[in-house]
Structure 1
């Protein structure tokens, strides 16, 4: 099995800001795995919060490149176990795991959602993310992309006022992501005000390790709360079920589709909502996420929509939020160059 790695710098349509950082470009790693005339593609973006760079992922994978090439590939799950045993970071594993799933689907001649026994007749609509910015900039972004569900990034001293102003200009559903910027008291205070403004749920309002605060929020918030930074890997799901109403799974953080499928199953077993989110990936990563949508309650897969230019073809999202799956097996991905 041949492995190939390539770094891309993805230009964003607009400066993207959350409570802890801003950026105009997104570094990403594309991993390709080839076998028997087929090539699968996977992706993992760099992330300063988790101290992951494209170079660090590349170095990890190159260190075991010869072992990957000699690996007897039969299923993505066995390949994932092999990668975990090599001690790679979850981000590096994600790039390879997504490529392995895409390759496997192409070898089998079927899209992944079909191999998993699901169909794409019904699925949730992705939200479109509006990063922190001056009100006029946030409004301009909403007017540029009219949408039915917006994820609003917050974490300022005027968060409720921001939502109140945005509500004057749209009837869309709002989801609020504070990216760990609030306290339990702020969350409980803000929740009824935001609920009256048409907010559906709050995502990760507290710091990732503030479990006592989240327990207080669970008992007093009038809005559901979804874990993000508190839910990284499979072992986090059970604890999150005691402190949140749902989880947001990120493929890069958990290590790809293989563990994500298990996390979805566990969350459903525990009776909590399931969301899968993106990390401003290109169409390579978004097409992998799209294979999961028949199994999800919510999805945040607008990463490629936030880019000025893309690097691949694959799953497309129309202006009405409909997902168009390509007539290609696996994740349906092909690089443009």
Structure 2
């Protein structure tokens, strides 16, 4: 029986408007990609149709469906072989779409082997807590959101042009939990260095991507003078970026959709470890299908930002969840990523 490819177009409603330096969203279009092998097993992957990256559901669905005939002759494709096929037939395929296919093949691989994906890998025996994100908003709204969602560690979105230190001071008055700060390229080098000392005093653990990707001179200055570690996000998209990031940052944030899936993400982790970088994995606004895939990396990480499904008003899937007391993953029954459509 040939391999089949199905694409499920879904719009994810957010529990509240989500603001970052680039945009505000109330809904997130996404594609759930389903690969069905010759034995009738389904593997699922996800590609968020993020407007900021120029993605459109209809166009991306058509691109994926055009690949179906090339996948059909295989009744099963291991993840490594999938990437060989894609490198040959669709070398310019958008990494978000490559990621969805990569995760779907990993999911099938786990189901065929009757194991969770991470159990196939040589990983440390440790747990890493995920943070919960407080998006940009008026201070009163941000503090209200924090109070309404008790969590052991928070990520705070800043860089919108307001009084960012006042925001952190107000949030710190509400909780003793550690903070990660994400400036989303919204600061200058001088601001970052200046803020870092007060942010450290206020219990911030690190600053994520404070400067635009193009400002490498400023980033080198920040790395040398910041009181806090600096984590690359927009500056670290693929394996090719890791070497440069080792010069300009203390750590990297890997997004599996940006690098093309779990296989390239683990290549980035291996390279970054050799270079002495700290490791984080983040998410887009994704359902449990995407989050359950990223969570397979958790034992290999120093920090995690996997709250995408927690930000939704309605999740079409179910899979990995997180304990509100510890932030640690709660693994579902089932193999592969453990994600499936909600019954």
Once the two structures are superposed, the pairs formed by residues 52-201 of structure 1 within 5 Å of their partners are 52-71=55-74, 73-85=76-88, 86=90, 87-118=92-123, 121-155=125-159, 156-201=161-206
Q: Indicate the residue corresponding to 2:333 in structure 1.
A: 327
Cα distance in 2 between the residues matched to 1:4 and 1:39: 10
TM-score, L = length of structure 2:
0.95
Q: CA deviation at 1:322?
A: 3.0
Paired position in structure 2 for 1:264: 269
Q: Deviations for 1:303-322, whole angstroms, at most 9, x for unmatched residues?
A: 11111111111111122223
| Count of residues in Structure 1 that have an aligned counterpart in Structure 2 | 336
Q: Give deviations 1:270-312, integer Å, cap 9, x for gaps.
A: 1100100000110000000111101111110001111111111
Aligned to 1:22: 24
Q: Which residue of 1 aligns with 2:43?
A: 40
CA distance in 2, matches of 1:134, 1:38: 47
User: What are the residue-to-residue correspondences of 1:217-256 with 2, within 5 Å?
Assistant: 217-256=222-261
CA drift of 1:83 comes to 1.7
Conserved in 2, the CA contact under 8 Å of 1:84 and 1:93? Answer: no
SS at match of 2:112: helix
Contact 2:18 2:136 in 1 (8 A): yes
CA contact (8 A) 2:126 2:299 kept: yes
Would you say 1:209 and 2:214 are equivalent positions? yes
SS at match of 1:29: strand
> What does residue 307 of structure 1 align with?
312
State the alpha-carbon separation in 2 of the partners of residues 182 and 313 from structure 1: 37
1: distance between equivalents of 2:187 and 2:51?
21
How far is 1:184 from its partner? 0.7
Rounded Cα–Cα distance in structure 2 between residues aligned with 1:318 and 1:56: 37
Stretch moving more, 303-312 or 55-64: 55-64
Which stretch of the first structure deviates more once superposed, 76-85 or 283-292?
Answer: 76-85
* Residue of structure 2 in register with 1:293 after alignment: 298
Q: Which 5+ residue runs of structure 1 have no aligned equivalent?
A: none
Q: CA deviation at 1:72?
A: 5.6
> 3-state DSSP class of the match of 1:25?
strand
Q: Normalising by structure 1, what TM-score?
A: 0.97
Aligned to 1:7: 9
User: 1:57·1:91 contact (CA, 8 Å) conserved in 2?
Assistant: no
**Counterpart-to-counterpart distance in 1, 2:222 and 2:285:** 29
SS at match of 1:206: coil
Distance 1:237 1:56 in 2: 31
Unmatched 5+ stretches in structure 2: none
CA deviations 1:250-286 (Å, max 9, x no partner) are 0111111110010011100111001000001100000
- Match of 1:336? 342
